[in-house]
Structure 1
């Protein structure tokens, strides 16, 4: 099932739906027996619903297309996507007759590639409970972005790749191996029906609902794969529909040069410390030896944390991160991104040298 929330997207929703219909899996009939598209048009003042309904009819795919006026408290990106995904989950559950299925979601201003569903199915078949795809900006629209914003995005992406590789080297996770990416975006997110139900559905937040869902899955130790081979194209506009969303963030960074970035792009030393502690605690938690180790004191944690360490590792680590001042996140200033990326690359080279010497010594 595919869930697409839309609000005042008459100019883009048609291309979104046509891209969905071009899936090679659809054309080769290798989909789950029950497949359909749910488009939830909410609180729109334009003709998004009419455009979407016509495009869906042209595809000849099973679909539900609704035009709703959500109450103010729910009329946001998270509320609309959650309702669309819940409808997709119910449809899948009612018609699937107990067969395993999954829900994908994308944005009305995005265009998925023809292998989107096939690659997603492959990643889920390898044991992931959810799969997040990469997002690239529309080339024509990106070309018109302010030069300073494009430079900043370039530096952020380079540093993000360094941090992700460091994380994979220091604390490797089998279900999400390098190369991967750091995006959890509603433009390309898939979750099995079982995982979606286990997480309690999409978290009820106004924005950032995609990241919140991934966090909820991780807290339950449900494997999430960030698949670099899945690449979805999305709008590079600065005037978005969702307050606090991607377009809103880009506009703010364009208007305010020193606006903070993603807190995952933290100083290199902080990141390395985080990955090292996560590796230690993951190992001790899996081995049942947390009670034999000294870790609460160096992380400046209250003693009660040790008494509550019987939960799964995902929930445990999330609580430790939130409680430890040593692990508090702070975004790196944009002017330091390039320098920390270069330092991180040297650090990785050093790890390669250590590994090489160790391998030669063991022969």
Structure 2
């Protein structure tokens, strides 16, 4: 079984689009009807995120961590217990393409690090977008790490010790732990997702905060 794990904190507005894109990716013909299970890990939600997920008949798990590393780790643990051989991770404010999951699996590596595209720059100035474009390199061999676009085999994930209980940068530390464990990692620009650039971001020190920091001319891009 292939598992998709999505942490969500008060994501009722974005979650439906995310789930629909995941359901389409799960039905890709090259997966040859291998079962794909989608888990929405609802972390301290007080909106209608649970109802949105239930409308689409995906798995849900509720917790009160307010810690994305802990929530991703809980989701992974639950799906490993259900027999997952591959763990794919994205975020609730993200849309994946139809071939997203199939592409991750077909590379045949222990892990896949893809890239992101911003769906809407309207909350940011042209200056921010220009600085972002100047420093982001969506090419094969890149070294960008995004929890919104990450896949890892169950065996490699367990060998590396899984996600750490960190409120930010849990994805970076997982990849570092995978590298130390000898895992093979595909750094590809072919596997890309579209994500939000909203200023009202859910995770401190994550992608949204990075974009906001670019408005400061003195910050490092």
TM-score computed with the length of structure 2 as normaliser: 0.92
Structure 1, unaligned stretches of length 5 or more?
A: 58-62, 94-100, 162-177, 262-363
Q: Which residue of 2 aligns with 1:136?
A: 117
SS at match of 2:214: helix
Deviation by residue 1:317-338 (Cα, 9 ceiling, x = unmatched): xxxxxxxxxxxxxxxxxxxxxx
Structure possessing the higher radius of gyration over alpha carbons:
1
Asked whether the equivalents of residues 5 and 41 of structure 1 are also in contact (C-alpha less than 8 Å), the reply is yes
Residue 247 (structure 1) aligns with: 208
Deviation track 1:62-114 (CA, whole Å, cap 9, x = no partner) reads x42123223xxxx2121211211221222125xxxxxxx21101000000000
Deviations 1:126-184 (A, max 9, x none): xx11001110000xx21442111111112212xx57xxxxxxxxxxxxxxxx7332221
Asked if the contact 1:20/1:112 (under 8 Å) is kept, the reply is yes
Alignment of structure 1 residues 1-363 onto 2, 5 Å: 1-23=3-25, 26-28=27-29, 30-31=31-32, 33-54=34-55, 56-57=56-57, 63-70=58-65, 75-92=66-83, 101-123=85-107, 125=108, 128-138=109-119, 141-157=120-136, 160=137, 179-254=140-215, 256-261=216-221
Number of aligned residue pairs: 219
> Which is strand-richer, 1 or 2?
2
CA distance in 2, matches of 1:250, 1:91: 37
Q: Tell me the secondary structure at the aligned position of residue 107 of structure 1.
A: coil
Quote the Cα distance in structure 1 between the aligned partners of 2:71 and 2:78. 11
Pair 1:201–1:31, CA change in 2 (3 A): farther
Alpha-carbon distance, 1:31 to partner: 4.9
Instruction: Say whether the 8 Å CA contact 1:184–1:211 is kept in structure 2.
Output: yes
- The 8 Å contact of residues 49 and 66 in structure 1, kept in 2 or not, is answered as no
Higher helix proportion: 1
| Equivalent pair of 1:239/1:251 in contact (CA under 8 Å) | no
Between 1 and 2, higher relative CO (CA 8 Å, sep ≥ 6) is seen in 2
TM-score (normalizing by structure 1): 0.57
Give the conservation status (yes or no) of the 8 Å contact 1:85–1:105. Answer: no
User: Measured at CA, do residues 194 and 32 of structure 1 come closer, stay the same or move farther in structure 2, by a change above 3 Å?
Assistant: farther
Structure 2 stretches of 5 or more lacking a match? none
